[in-house]
Structures are given as structure tokens and as C-alpha cells.
């Protein structure tokens, strides 16, 4: 399973030297909760633990040993640390097999360093991570009704809810469709928490060559799109591509409209 290091955004050092950041990952993947203390030490002099906003411990280390008995049920057999890096101050933890139950969790790391009877660093909060989990967007469907001049874009079984917009392509330009021409409905399954969104475009009368439905995932910052080309004759199927900040995962072209 691939390890997703996450997108460390909103980096901030607050007055108490707490490292604050966001981690974005994918369901069933892993997320790295990165953290370090500014002290090099022997493992027997190091103590630290991670907990979530419910104070449920996901990892605990004390004087050279991982304290498995301190780990709470939601995180049993799901976390790992980097023992060889701990002497350098690295107290990062890897959370495995992510579920939607992990989405929105807030994780905090507390650490202390000792030197015999002397306390080099008091137990204090040193890192704060906000975790966001996504279910990748796939299988975007685009259907066009040439009689009613409507187009329906549907995305099923995703998380979080998509941000949907439409664009109209002219010969040498494109523009966003005004909201008055679009009706979008989003529903969440109460059992698996996945979303289904359907957006209907009432195609405005104009001379243009294509329409595109774009479904943006705010967690992964990727966009799935589908394009319908208005041309004479049979439809042409486009190939998916990849651009900076935009993942084009599918392009569906249906039966062409008659030439305007």
C-alpha cells in the first residue's frame, strides 16, 4: 500500500512552538503525522505520545519502549513510528488503513526529554495535525438530451461532496455557465457517508462548440471532468489528460447535436 505523506498546508509555528498543519490522504491509504523535537537524545530519555481530539491515544513511547497497552481501540495495529529516527528528535507517526471515520480528526503530539533525574524538556504539546480523508472521484457520467437541450452530470459514491461547475467553449475562448442555468442536487448516504451529486445544465442558446462539467475535490485538490463536443456528424471521443492542479480522469462524448 502506498504511503501518502499528505499535503502539509497551513503551516504555522505558534507562540508555544507548536507545529500546526493539515494532512490530506485517501481512504485505505496511510497518513504521516510528522513531528520532531529540537533535542537529540538517547531513546531511554525520550517520552512522547499522540492522541486525537477525544484524547484517544494512537501511539505511546516511554524510555525506549512502545507502550502498546496505552493505545485505544480505534488505532490498534494501525500505527507505527520510526525508532531509528527518534534519537534525532523525529517523533512522527504513521496511521494506516484510513477510513472515513478518521476524516476531520485532530491529532496532537506531546513530548518530554530527560537526562537522568534532570528534565531537559517538560511534557508539552509540540505538534497539531488536522487529517482529511477522501474517496477518489471516479466514473463521472455526462448525458445530453438534444430535444430538451439539457445536460446532466452525475458523480456517485464519493467523499467529500464535489464542487461542480460548468463551462462553455467557444472557438477561441471559454466561460463559466451562470448559476441560473444550473441545478445541482447532492445527497449523502447515511450508512457509508458517501455522496452522490447530480448537476443539470439547461443549455443556453448560443453558438459554441463544447460544454464541460467539472467536479472538484476540495480535499485532494483535483478535478474530474467530462466534455461534450457540439459538432456535425459522429461524436469524437477525447483522451484523458493531466495538467498542473487538475486531474482529468474521464472525458465522455455523446451523440453530436445538429449544427446550430
- Tens-digit pLDDT profile for residues 170-219: 888 889 999 899 999 999 999 999 999 999 999 877 777 889 999 999 99
The total of other beta-carbon atoms located within 10 Å of residue 224's CB is 26
**155 and 229 in one domain?**
yes
Give the pLDDT confidence score for residue 16 in this predicted structure.
53
**105 and 206 in one domain?**
no
**179 and 118 in one domain?**
no
**68 and 122 in one domain?**
yes
Tell me whether residue 80 is in a domain.
yes
Domain ends where: 115, 134, 153?
Answer: 134
Question: In what helix (H) or strand (E) does residue 225 lie, and over which residues does it extend?
Answer: strand 222-229
Strand 30-33 relative to strand 3-4, pairing: parallel
Domain ends where: 111, 134, 157?
Answer: 134
**70 and 162 in one domain?**
no
**159 and 101 in one domain?**
no
Tell me whether residue 255 is in a domain.
no
**29 and 108 in one domain?**
yes
Give the pLDDT confidence score for residue 213 in this predicted structure.
96
Tell me whether residue 11 is in a domain.
yes
Domain ends where: 134, 161, 182?
Answer: 134
Give the pLDDT confidence score for residue 120 in this predicted structure.
81
**130 and 17 in one domain?**
yes
Q: 134: exposed, middle or buried (C-beta count within 10 Å: 0-12, 13-18, 19+)?
A: buried
**129 and 159 in one domain?**
no
Tell me whether residue 219 is in a domain.
yes
The answer to whether 33 touches 94, Cβ cutoff 8 Å, is: yes
Tell me whether residue 257 is in a domain.
no
Give the pLDDT confidence score for residue 231 in this predicted structure.
61
**75 and 33 in one domain?**
yes
Tell me whether residue 25 is in a domain.
yes
Domain range holding 204? 141-247
Taking CA atoms, 97 is separated from 31, 83, 159, in Å, by 9, 21, 16
Number of domains composing the chain: 2
Tell me whether residue 159 is in a domain.
yes
Q: 206: exposed, middle or buried (C-beta count within 10 Å: 0-12, 13-18, 19+)?
A: exposed
CATH code assigned at 230: 2.60.40.10
* Helix and strand element counts for the chain (H, E): 1, 21
**110 and 61 in one domain?**
yes
Tell me whether residue 122 is in a domain.
yes
Mean pLDDT of successive 10-residue segments in the chain (260 residues)? 36 55 96 92 92 97 93 95 94 97 97 82 91 95 88 96 94 88 96 96 82 95 92 36 32 31
Cell 484523458 found at? 240
User: Considering all CA atoms of the chain, what is the largest pairwise distance in Å, rounded to the nearest integer?
Assistant: 85
**129 and 9 in one domain?**
yes
Amino acid at each position: 500500500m502506498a504511503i501518502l505523506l499528505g499535503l502539509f498546508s497551513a503551516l504555522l509555528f505558534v507562540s508555544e512552538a507548536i507545529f500546526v498543519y493539515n494532512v490530506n490522504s485517501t481512504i485505505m491509504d496511510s497518513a504521516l503525522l510528522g513531528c520532531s523535537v529540537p533535542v537529540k537524545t538517547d531513546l531511554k530519555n525520550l517520552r512522547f505520545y499522540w492522541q486525537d481530539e477525544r484524547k484517544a491515544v494512537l501511539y505511546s513511547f516511554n524510555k525506549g519502549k512502545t507502550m502498546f497497552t496505552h493505545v485505544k481501540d480505534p488505532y490498534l495495529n494501525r500505527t507505527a513510528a520510526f525508532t531509528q529516527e527518534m534519537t534525532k528528535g523525529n517523533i512522527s507517526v504513521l496511521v494506516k488503513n484510513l477510513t472515513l471515520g478518521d476524516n476531520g480528526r485532530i491529532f496532537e503530539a506531546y513530548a518530554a526529554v530527560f537526562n537522568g533525574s534532570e528534565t531537559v524538556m517538560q511534557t508539552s504539546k509540540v505538534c497539531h495535525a488536522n487529517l482529511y480523508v477522501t474517496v477518489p472521484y471516479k466514473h463521472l457520467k455526462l448525458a445530453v438530451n438534444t430535444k430538451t437541450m439539457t445536460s446532466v452530470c452525475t458523480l456517485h459514491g464519493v467523499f467529500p461532496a464535489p464542487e461542480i461547475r460548468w463551462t462553455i467553449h467557444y472557438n477561441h475562448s471559454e466561460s463559466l455557465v451562470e448559476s441560473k442555468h444550473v441545478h445541482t442536487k447532492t445527497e449523502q448516504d447515511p450508512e457509508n457517508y458517501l455522496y452522490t451529486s447530480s448537476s443539470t445544465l439547461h443549455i443556453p442558446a448560443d453558438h459554441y462548440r463544447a460544454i464541460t462539467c467539472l467536479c472538484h475535490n476540495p480535499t485532494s485538490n483535483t478535478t474530474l471532468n467530462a466534455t461534450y463536443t457540439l459538432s456535425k456528424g459522429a461524436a469524437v471521443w477525447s483522451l484523458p489528460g493531466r495538467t498542473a492542479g487538475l486531474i482529468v480522469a474521464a472525458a465522455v462524448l455523446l451523440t453530436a447535436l445538429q449544427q446550430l
